[in-house]
Amino acid sequence: MIGNRLGGKPGIWVCVLMMLSLPLAGQNEEVLKKLQEFEERLKRLESAGQQQEAAKAEKPQAGNGQQQEGGNGSGTARQDQKTVQVEELRRQLDILAEELEKVRSGEAEIEVSARQAQGMGLGPSAASVYRRKQGVSIAGYGEMVYQNFENENESGAPVNIGSQLDFVRAIVYAGYRFNDKFLFNSELEFEHAATDKTGSVSVEFAYLDYLATDNLTLRGGLLLVPMGLVNEFHEPNVFIGALRPQTEQRIIPSTWRENGFGITGSAGLFDYRAYVVNGLDAAGFSSNGLRGGRQKGSRAKATDLAFVGRLDVHPTPGVFFGGSLYRGGSGQGQFELNGRELDVTTTIGEVHGQVQVKGFDVRGLYARATVDDAAELSQLLNLSSGSPVAETLQGGYLQFGYNLLTRTHDTSSLMPFYRFEALNTQEEVPAGFTANLARDRTFHTLGLEFKPIRNIVLKADYQWLRNEAESGVNQFNLGLGYSF
């Protein structure tokens, strides 16, 4: 501790501490206030030390035994009192030094629980800026995935899908806390490692929050759409499995973000989020789902807007369940047939739940989507009769896991898991079109994930894929992820 290491002139330490804090002066006004208090206390410590040394140098005055005994008792008491004062000052200096070091190192200044972060629609690392009283916050995550495919499909026909090792994404969360009411938060994504190949750089979210009350926040910017168990909570040490569930890629097109504004908040056991955002772009819809309709905040067409709302209830720690609803036009004024503009109204609804209690981890989700004007849209997109945009899509999954180390380790986990998923992106197709049987799929995933610490995860799983066309190909996956 700095206070315990004081030697020579305490003022030197004040100068050193002020120099160390210069980069933070503009970020946290409290640093300067603490340093001023630090300096005053150091001066008092130096003065008290000098008085203590002077007291030691004093010689007992001559006198009778009673007077000398009384004098010595009084002097000893004064000396003991000074010693206590010095020790108290040292203790307070230690506290101030610790607080200053926390500011310099970026340690949390405000406690934000996992439940609170979840209520704001953020993963643990994404919520870092909310732990700051003021100033810059840096966090992030990344993941690498290896995929190895079988040499034949479920019907025994040979296939040739090469193995792949991909650094899927590296993320930087950058935030700034202006004061106790306003903050900025963002996620910058580098996908597939190199932009000169298949990689890209994009903004996953970037928004401003106004914390109106403890239970109500106003939010605006590029927002994560609050649906499902993965779209908002997509850090690799949060979701289970090397690959995200297909339902949360094809029906809920994670990672899904759009420009808009809205509110987030809580009321007792309930958390809620409600946004108005630009609608999807139906030009990207296909027989394989809605994923191509995301606009990602880039010059987004906003002729048609959409509303999305979510409600979760937390009846007990580690348990929550809820649902969300999205509805809006996806035509964006660009489709017309027989003199009628197509709205392509798109509705997505889902229900979800998660239980993490006593080492058990159980998660489930069901999603269903409808697309109006699907026949006309498929015609205008020149899609074949066997691959139209569906009128109805549905899918869901149920996942079980158990941490084998739950009774012996607090910060490590070893979790075998199983996930069953069924997905059909052509549940109902328009009249005059036929469904592609390969779009009706079931997945069985059996795997193991190991976390030596909470922020690092190693994953391995095997996935069996079956579809109605009997063309599914099984695969083995490895994953490596981190967050900070």
Per the CB < 8 A criterion, the answer to whether 470 and 155 are in contact is yes
Confidence (pLDDT) at 99: 61
113 in the Ramachandran plot: left (φ > 0), alpha (ψ -120 to 50) or beta? beta
pLDDT digits (tens, 9 = 90+) for 20-61: 444 444 445 555 566 666 667 667 766 766 766 666 666 554
Residues 195 and 323 in one domain: yes
Domain span at residue 406 reads 114-483
**Closest listed residue to residue 365, CA positions, set 355, 356, 353:** 353
Residues 94 and 7 in one domain: yes
The answer, yes or no, to whether residue 4 has pLDDT greater than 60, is no
Residues 99 and 144 in one domain: no
The CATH number of the domain holding residue 441 is: 2.40.160.10
Confidence (pLDDT) at 60: 53
Measured CA to CA, the distance from residue 459 to residue 375 in angstroms comes to 42
Give the DSSP H/E element, type plus range, for residue 160.
none
pLDDT digits (tens, 9 = 90+) for 352-377: 999 999 999 999 999 999 999 999 99
Average pLDDT value for residue range 341-357: 98
User: DSSP secondary-structure letter at 390?
Assistant: P
Measured CA to CA, the distance from residue 442 to residue 176 in angstroms comes to 44
Confidence (pLDDT) at 24: 43
DSSP track, 433-474: ----GGGEEEEEEEEEEEEEETTEEEEEEEEEEEETTS----
Instruction: Determine the straight-line distance between the first and last CA of the chain, rounded to whole angstroms.
Output: 26
Residues 374 and 424 in one domain: yes
Does a cis peptide bond (omega within 30 degrees of 0) precede residue 255? yes
Per the CB < 8 A criterion, the answer to whether 271 and 311 are in contact is yes
Mean pLDDT of the chain: 88
Please list, residue by residue across 387-409, b when 16 or more beta carbons sit within 10 angstroms of its beta carbon and e when fewer do: bbbbbebbbbbebbbebeebeee
Residues 8 and 64 in one domain: yes
Domain count within the chain: 2
Boundary residue ending a domain (105, 130, 151): 105
Measured CA to CA, the distance from residue 205 to residue 133 in angstroms comes to 22
User: DSSP secondary-structure letter at 333?
Assistant: T
Measured CA to CA, the distance from residue 201 to residue 197 in angstroms comes to 12
Per the CB < 8 A criterion, the answer to whether 295 and 308 are in contact is no
Residues 427 and 319 in one domain: yes
Residues 222 and 144 in one domain: yes
Residues 249 and 197 in one domain: yes
Q: In Å, how far are 52, 57, 58, 351 from 81, measured between CA atoms?
A: 10, 17, 16, 67
Residues 79 and 126 in one domain: no
Boundary residue ending a domain (105, 123, 143): 105
436: its two tokens: 């592609």
Count CB atoms within 10 A of the CB of residue 115: 13
Residues 99 and 162 in one domain: no
Boundary residue ending a domain (87, 105, 123): 105
pLDDT digits (tens, 9 = 90+) for 382-423: 999 999 999 999 999 999 999 999 999 999 999 999 999 999
